[in-house]
Structure 1
């Protein structure tokens, strides 16, 4: 047991031992509700960054410990090589483990045409009828799209008019729109008060 502690507290393993203690303390705090897990995605698999970094540190620590036991580095330079190799092994193992883990973490649902229902749009064609029309609609992320639109009535929906998308026709692949002009408000002239 003394050899284990000597290896774990000697260079280069000691560098990763400190980080491993921090990781273990962090996850204990998360387990007892004293800290929140950070749900930011890491590039190497699409799982929370805290989990990815924790795995990287743990795998690198084990690889560094194994490297010290196997190679018994005689110098600081050789120990630095073991540390670098351990980090590479840790990164590879983390990526291998994180790939199947990403299925456990939900991602944003894919964008759907139904996301446009309930949004306003601006008519882009000269008119909108029961069989013809196009409008521009802005999505929640700020991007815009030109979509096919139809109206069930005879409202004067012309270019530049704002309309409300109230339904999507799956078979026809178009949106049903209605005029937002609920009532007519007369324009005031200079003499009207």
Structure 2
């Protein structure tokens, strides 16, 4: 136990120990609800004062390393934990064999870099099965129906009332429709959606040619 404590508080593991302490505090705050750890993943957004080229390059590295698809807090926590574990083991079993202070600094720096590199590799594989837990689905917007065909459900469609259904993958969606030409559409007719009125929540439709 003494060797473990010495390794965790000595160079280079002390650097990662400080980061691990930050991670532990963060998750304690998340546990009590003071911070929100969830996000759609590691998203690099373009800020008003940001360089699009640099940000796109950073995003490319994130994807290339396989660190995308889960919240950044999860990725950062795993990176720190894995790197700390590797560095701590190296500090416990390797560093005591290094004789001089200068060599300890050089070897310790190498251990730190190798620990981080291995942590990236291991973390990328650890988060792979977790990506399915953080998939977000965009809701279908009303305007997305414009241009699609729909089938009339009501006996008639006029300027005041009418119902139809839009075929979607998995289930059909029923919508309110209207047309300026009364009595031209009836149940079973296939029409095309032309526009959506947000005020009334209805779609303008016309008969298919």
TM-score w.r.t. structure 2 length? 0.56
5 Å-filtered alignment, 1:77-88, equals: 77-88=106-117
Structure 2 stretches lacking a partner, 5+ long = 43-61, 159-163, 169-189, 197-209
Structure 1 stretches lacking a partner, 5+ long = 122-136, 138-146, 156-165, 181-193
CA displacement 1:66-114 (0-9 Å, x = unmatched): 12223215421111000000001111111111000111223225x8xxx
Structure with the largest fraction of helix: 2
Larger-gyration structure (1/2): 1
Q: Say if 2:23 is the partner of 1:23.
A: yes
Q: 1:179 and 1:9 mapped to 2: Cα distance?
A: 66
5 Å-filtered alignment, 1:101-120, equals: 101-109=130-138, 115=140, 118-119=142-143
Q: Say if 2:92 is the partner of 1:69.
A: yes
Q: 1:169 and 1:107 mapped to 2: Cα distance?
A: 22
User: What's the Cα RMSD here?
Assistant: 3.6
Higher relative contact order (CA 8 A, sep 6+): 2
Q: 1:91 and 1:56 mapped to 2: Cα distance?
A: 6
> For this pair of structures, how many residues does the alignment match?
143
5 Å-filtered alignment, 1:74-153, equals: 74-109=103-138, 115=140, 118-119=142-143, 137=146, 147=147
TM-score w.r.t. structure 1 length? 0.60
